[in-house]
Amino acid sequence: MVIAHCTASAAGWYRDPKTGEPIERNVGEVIALMHSELSEALEAFRKDLRDDKLPHRNGIEVEFADCIIRILDTSAALGLDVAGALIEKNRFNAQRADHKLENRAAAGGKKF
């Protein structure tokens, strides 16, 4: 998380482009940008596109990476423990009844 945030900070994403003064990022805007990366991933998958900047890579994997970078950067900026939450949430999901195949196949179960 820290590496992504340091990279973004070094690139000036936490400074006003005109004055160079530090700014607070608009969290809603940053989340919308994360969403845009996922939309680009969908388009890359739908059209089986290569990435335009890393042409040796599938577009979907690079767009996923872009989204993860934005998440890690924002998490570090906000002082969030997303790594810890990821571990806990994965453990929780492994035990969820509504994630079990037999419950998903039952009437009223989750289709996706």
pLDDT tens digits for range 2-22 = 999 999 999 999 999 999 999
Question: Could you tell me which residues come within 8 angstroms of residue 76 by beta carbon, excluding any fewer than 6 positions away?
Answer: 1, 2, 4, 5
Chain position carrying tokens 């900047």: 53
Helix 27-47 / helix 59-78 crossing angle, nearest 10 deg: 170
Nearest to residue 82, comparing CAs of 71, 90, 69?
Answer: 71
Whether residue 93 is predicted with pLDDT greater than 90 in this model: the reply is yes
Phi then psi for residue 55, to 5 deg, are -65, -15
Q: How confident is the model at residue 111 (pLDDT cuts 50, 70, 90)?
A: confident
As a whole number of angstroms, the distance between CA 96 and CA 89 comes to: 10
pLDDT tens digits for range 21-74 = 999 999 999 999 999 999 999 999 999 999 999 999 999 999 999 999 999 999
Q: Which residues pair with 58 in a beta bridge?
A: 50
Nearest to residue 2, comparing CAs of 63, 86, 87, 83?
Answer: 83
Mean model confidence pLDDT for the chain = 97
